[in-house]
Amino acid sequence: MPLRSGFADLLRTGLLSGLLSGLVLGILVCVWNLPLILEAEKFESKSISENSNTNSTHGHSHAHGESHSHAKVEPNSAGEIENTGLWQKRNLGTMIGSVLLGISFGVLISIWVIFFPPNGFLESPSLSQAIVQSLLFTIGGFLIFFGIPFVGLPPELPGRASGAYDYPERQAWWYLCVGSSVVGVLVSRAYLTYLKIHNIIKWALAVITALFFVRLPFYLGAPELSKDFAAPEELRIQFEYVSFLTNLIFWFLLSSLFFLFWKPRQVLGSK
């Protein structure tokens, strides 16, 4: 295995870059994603309330109209306190989860670099090489863990009636999609690194292998989801765009920090 002596340094680089990028991811999710989720939950609650009210008569609702409007004063204040506490708990949970996610991906990048070190970068890193490697890892990580699964299963807001029932199926397909893409990239990279054949044949074989494994989950079939959403379409599209952007920023930041923190003085050209 190459660069055994530098494993600890690579691991430390992955931990640090993952920690910082995870913190930024948590902030972005709290600022951009969570408000959309809370807004969708309002539509979900409204839909549930409307469905429960269908069993009541008009006489009941009118007769108690004044008492309902009067009784809303106390529950609203208690609800605001409850929502504030829930918001704080969600923010804390989001930050912790994002940091752990960032650290995990940082360690994965470290392990990848150990097995497939970029040509000459670890021994004599430069800024141009760092930029190239950052872009490659940004594109690869983003596509594997978000972009490719996004095509079959876009990120979903709360409020779809059958969402709880088909969750295991959606989760299994996501794992299949990510796992298949990782296998395809690993095998293709192994071809390029260790296979001793003509370069054209080697690259053709690597591309065909990667495309096969990326296409495999779609050939088996992505789960078909029902269209009974409580949240409006505009909110769902906005959530997809926001999720797309947060994940892209996260992968760009994680990859850039990783290759910048690896011997930063040499990368930045300072003595």
Q: What is the mean pLDDT of the chain?
A: 82
pLDDT, residue 264, reads 83
Residue with tokens 């074989």: 205
pLDDT, residue 121, reads 81
| Higher pLDDT pick, 69 / 124 | 124
pLDDT, residue 91, reads 86
* CA 196 – CA 111 distance, rounded (Å): 24
> Smallest Cα–Cα separation from 150: which of 226, 227, 255, 222?
222
Q: Phi/psi of residue 153, each to 5°?
A: -140, 90
Q: Which SS3 state, helix, strand or coil, does residue 227 take?
A: coil
Burial 99-132 (b: 16+ CB within 10 A, else e): bebbbebbbbbbebbbeebbeebbeebeeebbee
Q: Where are the beta strands (DSSP E) in 130-216?
A: none
pLDDT, residue 132, reads 93
* Residue 269 CB neighbours (<10 A): 9
- Residue 18 pLDDT more than 90? yes
- Residue 162 pLDDT more than 90? no
Q: What is the pTM of this model?
A: 0.83
Encode pLDDT of 62-80 as tens digits: 334 443 333 333 344 444 4
Structure tokens at 83: 């929502």
- Burial (CB count within 10 angstroms: exposed 0-12, middle 13-18, buried 19+), residue 266: middle
* Residue 200 CB neighbours (<10 A): 8
pLDDT, residue 48, reads 56
Question: What's the helix, strand, coil split of the chain in %, to 5?
Answer: 80, 0, 20
DSSP state of 72: T
pLDDT, residue 198, reads 83
Alpha-helical regions (H) of 29-166: 34-53, 58-63, 65-71, 73-115, 127-142, 148-152
| Higher pLDDT pick, 229 / 254 | 254
**75-89, 147-161, 210-224 — which is least confidently predicted?**
75-89
